[in-house]
Amino acid sequence: MSIDTLLAGVHFPDDMPAFDIGWRSLAVNLSDLAAMGATPRWCLLSLALPAVDDAWLAGFRDGFYALAEQSGITLVGGDTVRGPLAVTVQVTGEVPEGLALTRAGASAGERLCISGVPGEAAAGLALWQGGARGGPLVGALARPAAPVRLGESLRGLASACIDISDGLLPDLGHLLAASGLSGADIQLAQLPLSEALGQWGDDDQRRRAQLVGGDDYLLLFTLPDTALLPPECSVIGRVTNDAGVRLLDADGHEWPLPSGGYDHFAGDH
């Protein structure tokens, strides 16, 4: 089970289309189920709206149901109140006893893997703030995939798993802490890059987006060497018991860690 509240202006831009808000509010919750390897079952929705706006509601509903149908989750109840725009979604999933994935369980030496291209949502946000309203990077921000089928396939395979909401390095820190590990070596050249992200920003902006950009809702997981890497996933390094996380380029040189965490669209989250 999981619950998440998204506030306008904090967790999504005030002027994001209603379809995307509907999609995204469910996606961020499904991402939590995916990280546990759970099969989505039921959800409830509580919606605070400043006023009744039929066109907005129709768009929100279409976006929410589009992802609900795709992921096989059923909306079973809800609540509406009048107030500043806020969306709370609660999700329940099922996983066979003993097979739920957690952040704990990674062992030193295991491969560190990621389920897609990190940094696209952060680049999409920068583009959005510059006025862009379309394209693949804005799409990654507005309509993140909810990797629930991948999460299910990682049951009994991944030793630890977390979804990336705060950023690759911050969420890696959560996984390491829960697993009682102290370090990781990340091969920068193995960070997957899409064509769209490769054409965005400069090297430094891209590296920051990939390492500390949030809101990608990908899965970050560890795999023992005996386990096959699932399709469309990449090995980006290994977890260790060394002191801290190291960023290594193709020549084995260490790069400095980007400073700062991730602040979503404004302030705390």
Which positions lie near its own copies, rule CB under 8 A? 1-5, 7, 10-11, 42, 44-46, 48, 76-79, 81-84, 86, 88, 90, 92, 267-269
User: Scanning the structure block, which residue is given the tokens 């959560």?
Assistant: 174
Any residues with CB less than 8 A from the CB of 38 and at least 6 apart, and which?
93, 94, 95, 100, 148, 151, 152
Nearer to its own copies, 53 or 79 (CB): 79
Spell out a b/e string for 175-209, using b for 16 or more CB atoms within 10 Å of the CB, else e. Answer: bbeebebeebbbbbeebbbbebbeebbeeeebbbb
Nearer to its own copies, 98 or 267 (CB): 267
Least distance to its own copies, CB of residue 42, Å = 7
Least distance to its own copies, CB of residue 46, Å = 4
Nearer to its own copies, 79 or 232 (CB): 79
Least distance to its own copies, CB of residue 178, Å = 15
Query: Any bridge partners for residue 90, and if so which?
Result: 3, 44
Nearer to its own copies, 76 or 177 (CB): 76
- Sequential DSSP letters for 56-78: HHHHHHHHHHHHHHHHT-EEEEE
Least distance to its own copies, CB of residue 83, Å = 5
What 3 state SS string does 104-143 have?
A: CCCCCCCEEEECCCCCHHHHHHHHHHCCCCCCHHHHHHHC
Nearer to its own copies, 83 or 244 (CB): 83
Write down how long the chain is. Answer: 269
Angle, CA of 142, 148 and 151, to the nearest 5°: 125
Least distance to its own copies, CB of residue 142, Å = 19
Nearer to its own copies, 84 or 224 (CB): 84
Least distance to its own copies, CB of residue 246, Å = 32
Least distance to its own copies, CB of residue 263, Å = 11
Nearer to its own copies, 75 or 99 (CB): 75
Nearer to its own copies, 61 or 246 (CB): 61
Least distance to its own copies, CB of residue 137, Å = 25
The CB-side HSE value for 140 (13 A sphere, CA atoms) comes to 25
Give yes or no for a contact between 15 and 268, defined as CB atoms under 8 angstroms apart.
no
Angle, CA of 163, 139 and 165, to the nearest 5°: 20
Any residues with CB less than 8 A from the CB of 206 and at least 6 apart, and which?
119, 123, 193, 197, 198, 200
